[in-house]
Copies of this chain bind each other. A is one copy, B any other.
Amino acid sequence: MINIAIMGHGVVGSGVVEVLTHNSESIERRAADKIYIKHILDLREFPESPLCDRFTKDFNDILNDDSVKIVVETMGGINPAYNFVKSCLLAGKSVVTSNKELVATHGQELLTIAKENNLNFLFEASVGGGIPIIRPMIQCLAANEISEITGILNGTTNFIMTKMIRDNTDFSDALSLAQKLGYAERDPSADIEGHDACRKICILASLAFGKHVYPNQVYTDGITKITLSDVKYAEKWGGVIKLLGRVKMLENGKINVTVYPAFVPNDSQLSLVDDVFNAIMINGDATGEVMFYGRGAGKLPTASAVVADVIDCVKHVKARKYLYWADTEEDYVVDHLDTKAELFIRIKTDNYDGDCEKISEQFGEVRFLSDVGDEIAFITKEGVERDLLNSLDKTGLNAESVIHILY
């Protein structure tokens, strides 16, 4: 029997208890050992829980219990999760976490401590909720050189975009609906500003290419400025707008990492990823394109990913899993403005033909999506993004929207 402790009894933490209890028989079979929840750390009271005798408000009850070999962290946020997790690792306990902010910000340090102490530090649930992605990426793609990862990594924003696309609901109404349904927090900024997707692409990029990518290295743009007009032009172009986290390996060994909304063509698998679903597309030199799809959030999907990591810890309690990346390097992440792009640009106008001419003068050949009226919408040719934005500047026109094309 293996004793574990769970820190945080919120949505994910209580889901972990539920999955461990409900599927205990098959879990025991797969782990080849019994898993016993010895402590649950939470400042709140849960008198109704069948495990109410296991609750504690004191982290030291877990830290100082040598019989606890695996600690699950589902508190979220950096404080106090970071100190707690670090202390557990230093005390010789393996840690499983669903906390993407923690891994994106301190992953390299925590992995190093885990490695030095021959412990596991696993975080499958931090990206893609219940979609198995980190383990398949590491293990099954071990024989591949990965060149690119593109993901729909945030269920809340994908739900909002789906409402805008399918039901013609504008952004703020779609956001309200997401909040009403419990898909978005009262303060939705981490989702709609792209920070959540940013943390996830940082984790994937760090894993895929072996060097830590920190959130502040990543150009991040959310979906708050997307209008129904943009959505309609995307449809006319032959696609949909999705918030994408992307990382590409460049020829010079540096990487381009971005989070932004983009036009995705209808023949891409990513275009059919709707509502709160997530999907991660990986390009490898041997496998070609591989995609993983499923619910990116939610109590039970996320909890099941945590439990899968716990099972893996139990099976490898004496042998660390190979999960590690080095720290970042200077200039490892390039400025996305120096990389190639294609852009959708929408401009208000009171001189349609004249302004179209200015655009053609600066951009050369472009594809106009608009009909004569008070708005010009067009797709640029491929070019270095900085040059494209310079061309826009030189037209003297004020863009209402500038959106990337999946490229």
Q: Which residues of A contact B (CB under 8 A)?
A: 19-20, 23, 26-27, 30-32, 124, 129-132, 135-136, 138-145, 267, 269, 271-273, 284-295, 298, 300-301, 303-308, 310-312, 315, 319, 322
Q: Which chain B positions have C-beta within 8 A of A294?
A: 287-291
Contact A23 B143 (CB under 8 A): yes
Contact of A288 with B295 at beta-carbon distance under 8 Å, contacts A23-B143, A141-B308 already known: yes
How many subunits of this chain does the assembly comprise? 2
Whether B142 lies near A308 (C-beta < 8 A) is yes
* Residues of chain B lying within 8 A (CB to CB) of residue A129: 287
| Known A130-B290, A267-B272, A315-B322; further 6 A-B contacts with Cβ < 8 A | A19-B286, A23-B145, A143-B308, A286-B303, A286-B304, A289-B294
Q: Give the chain B neighbours of A305 by CB distance below 8 A.
A: 140, 143, 287
Q: Is the CB of B295 within 8 A of A142?
A: no
A-B contact pairs, 6 of them (CB 8 A): A23-B286, A135-B135, A140-B308, A142-B308, A142-B312, A288-B298
A26/B269 in contact, CB under 8 A: no
Closest to A129 in B: B287
A287/B130 in contact, CB under 8 A: yes
Q: Which residue of B lies closest to A298 (CB)?
A: B288
Across the A-B interface, the 5 shortest Cβ-Cβ residue pairs: A132-B140, A143-B307, A286-B304, A130-B287, A290-B294
Min CB distance, A370 to chain B, in Å?
Answer: 29
- Given A269-B293, A292-B290, CB of A142 within 8 Å of CB of B303: no
Q: Pick the contact of A290: B131, B273, B284 (CB < 8 A).
A: B131
- A124 contact set on B, CB distance < 8 A: 140
Complex CA distance for A285 and B304, rounded to whole angstroms: 9
Nearest Cβ on chain B to A294's Cβ, whole angstroms: 4
Q: How far is the CA of A309 from the CA of B23 in the complex (A)?
A: 28
Q: A292-B292, A295-B287, A322-B32 are in contact. Are A27 and B143 (CB under 8 A)?
A: yes
Contacts of A140 in B (CB 8 A): 124, 132, 135-136, 305, 308
- Which residue of chain B is the closest to A136 with respect to CB atoms? B132
What CA separation (Å) do A308 and B138 show in the bound complex?
A: 9
Nearest-Cβ distance from residue A308 to partner chain B, whole angstroms? 5
Alpha-carbon gap, A140 to B287, bound state (A): 20
* Residue of A132, A272, A288, A298 with most partner-chain B CB within 10 A: A132
